[in-house]
């Protein structure tokens, strides 16, 4: 299992976090998604076939791109 915390500058509220959780949870292999609008971060745990690249691309597609 892999995990990473992504910085998402566009997060402004709990609704943003719920949108991200919903979308990322649909990726095959994503195990958990936890977000915090106060710190503008989302922590994700995943196994194959999900990849960090897939997660980053999905965040970009839903207008919550991760900052470097």
What is the Cα–Cα distance from 17 to 59, expressed in whole angstroms? 11
- The H-assigned helical ranges of 26-51 are none
- What pLDDT does 8 receive? 97
Q: What are phi and psi of 34, to 5 degrees?
A: -130, 135
Query: So what's the pLDDT on residue 3?
Result: 97
Q: Along the 68 residues of the chain, how does pLDDT read in single tens digits?
A: 999 999 999 999 999 999 999 999 999 999 999 999 999 999 999 999 999 999 999 999 999 999 96
> Would you state the pLDDT for residue 39?
97
CATH fold for domain 2-61: Alpha-Beta Plaits (3.30.70)
| This prediction's pTM | 0.94
CA–CA separation, 13 and 25 (whole Å): 19
């Amino acid at each position: 299992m892999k995990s990473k915390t992504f910085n998402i500058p566009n997060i402004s509220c709990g609704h943003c976090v719920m949108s991200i959780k919903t979308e990322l949870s649909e990726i095959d292999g994503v195990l958990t998604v936890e977000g915090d609008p106060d710190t503008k971060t989302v922590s994700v745990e995943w196994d194959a076939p999900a990849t960090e690249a897939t997660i980053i691309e999905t965040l970009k597609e839903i207008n919550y791109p991760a900052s470097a």
